[in-house]
């Protein structure tokens, strides 16, 4: 699943959907008076019903689109100054409000700087959330019930970190006409997004099986990831960013092609983070425009899965455990408020665990939930003396990707 694989409820018919989930959502639709069909639906967590009141006359809001990263979009009519939408609590969402003619009016903002709904932190015994009355100020809709106090138990430090981390998601959600043709992209069954892949120097294994933690060279580069889903997919794209981005009409051919959509990777940029500003993607006489917010916050919000290798008596690797380190910020933050999933990768020489490994790759773990801190290798034939690098890669809750390298 890509970073920005949205799915509109009320507009499209599913391409891939589990029939039981479809029935559940159809029942919900009938309950709330919504027509529910969607292009793709990956339910995470359990359902939570979100309700709110809004003055349609003073705000001009006629609809609200609930936007997620992995469970699609849900377009809801506002009726009699109120709306209700069922979201799943395994990921972040945000709300964007529209006129009757589908013109964006603004987005939700919680207290502080959080411009999303961090539903992944909602306790599992919560199945309803009332936002109270939404008040409009410019392009911001703010609930008069502070759910960060009543429902979502993030402490002050975690709220600050989430408020910075969700900026990219909020910027993407607020740009619903990326191709600039005057019609919202999802109403045309198109889907565009932009993400980032950071490369980080974690440290070095010296004589032992636990590495040092090196923060001197830390982030040593990034690649942008451009997601394109439309009827006619390009074979390559060109990316141009603001001054200092290192991307000026940069050709991007590296890609993951999933058939109905492609994720393109920009060339590697030897810089700590992409500067904020406007980024344009061109191909086939088409121009996509993305707005990336200031990314300097990442230097203070990087989580390091710090590994320890545990060996069998014959010197092969049995398992790898790790601690979530926060080298630059106060340890009162729970890494689970930032990290969604982890993967362990091993490079070196000698026998591999899986077949079809490329280059020096010896092992790829499956994706592991952030709560897991130990992984037993699926095969026990990788010799520690043959290992050259261990990559502790992870995705944050907003689907930005980090590759943390520990060298030997």
Rg (the chain; Cα; Å): 22
Cα 199-202-204 angle, rounded to 5 deg? 130
CA nearest 219: which of 327, 88, 57? 327
In the block, which residue shows the tokens 């009016």? 105
For domain 190-196+221-295, which CATH number applies: 2.40.40, 1.10.3210, 2.60.40, 1.20.140? 2.60.40
What is the tens place of the pLDDT at every residue in 362-396?
999 999 999 899 999 999 999 999 999 999 999 99
- pTM, to two decimals: 0.85
| 172/385 Cα distance (integer angstroms) | 45
Q: What is the DSSP letter of 73?
A: E
CATH of domain 303-407: 2.60.40.10
One-character DSSP codes across 267-327? PPB-SSSPPSEEEEEEETTEEEEEEE---GGGGGS--EEEEEEEE-TTSBEEEEEEEEE-T
Please check whether the two domains, 190-196+221-295 and 303-407, share a CATH topology.
Answer: yes
CA nearest 194: which of 175, 180, 220, 221? 175
In the block, which residue shows the tokens 């050709």? 251
Lowest model confidence (mean pLDDT) among 30-39, 106-115, 185-194, 203-212: 30-39
| 391/285 Cα distance (integer angstroms) | 39
Share of residues in the chain with pLDDT > 90 (%):
66
Spell out the residues 6+ positions from residue 403 whose beta carbon is closer than 8 angstroms to its own.
197, 198, 199, 200, 391, 393
Query: How is the chain split into domains, by residue range?
Result: 8-187, 190-196+221-295, 303-407
What is the tens place of the pLDDT at every residue in 296-308?
877 777 888 999 9
């Amino acid at each position: 699943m890509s970073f920005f694989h949205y799915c509109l409820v009320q507009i499209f018919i599913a391409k891939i959907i589990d029939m039981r989930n479809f029935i559940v959502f159809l029942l919900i639709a009938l309950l709330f008076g919504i027509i529910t069909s969607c292009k793709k639906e990956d339910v995470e967590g359990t359902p939570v019903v979100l309700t709110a009141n809004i003055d349609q006359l003073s705000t001009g809001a006629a609809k609200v689109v609930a936007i997620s990263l992995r469970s699609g979009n849900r377009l809801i009519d506002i009726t009699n100054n109120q709306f209700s939408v069922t979201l799943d609590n395994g990921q972040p969402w945000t709300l964007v409000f529209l006129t009757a003619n589908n013109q964006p009016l603004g987005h939700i903002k919680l207290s502080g700087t959080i411009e999303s709904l961090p539903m992944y932190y909602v306790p599992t015994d919560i199945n309803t959330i009332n936002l109270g009355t939404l008040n409009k100020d410019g392009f911001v809709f703010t609930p008069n019930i502070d759910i960060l106090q009543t429902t979502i138990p993030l402490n002050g430090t975690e709220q600050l970190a989430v408020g910075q981390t969700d900026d990219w998601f909020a910027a993407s959600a607020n740009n619903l006409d990326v191709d600039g043709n005057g019609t919202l992209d999802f109403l045309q069954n198109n889907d565009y997004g932009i993400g980032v892949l950071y490369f980080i120097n974690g440290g070095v294994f010296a004589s032992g099986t636990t590495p040092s933690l090196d923060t001197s060279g830390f982030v040593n580069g990034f690649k942008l990831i451009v997601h394109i889903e439309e009827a006619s997919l390009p074979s390559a794209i060109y990316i141009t960013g603001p001054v200092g981005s290192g991307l000026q009409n940069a050709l991007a051919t590296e890609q993951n092609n999933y058939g109905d959509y492609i994720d393109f990777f920009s060339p590697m940029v030897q810089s700590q983070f992409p500067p904020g500003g406007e980024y344009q993607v061109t191909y086939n006489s088409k121009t996509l425009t993305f707005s990336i917010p200031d990314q300097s916050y990442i230097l203070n919000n990087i989580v390091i899965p710090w590994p320890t290798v545990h060996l069998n008596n014959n010197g092969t690797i049995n398992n790898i455990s790790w601690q979530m380190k926060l080298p630059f910020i106060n340890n009162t933050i729970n890494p689970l408020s930032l990290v969604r999933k982890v993967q362990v990768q091993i490079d070196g020489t000698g026998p591999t665990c899986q077949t079809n490994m490329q280059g020096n790759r010896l092992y790829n773990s499956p994706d592991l939930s952030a709560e897991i801190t130990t992984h037993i290798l699926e095969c026990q034939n990788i010799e520690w003396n043959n290992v050259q690098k261990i990559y502790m890669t992870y995705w944050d809750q907003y689907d930005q990707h980090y590759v943390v390298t520990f060298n030997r």
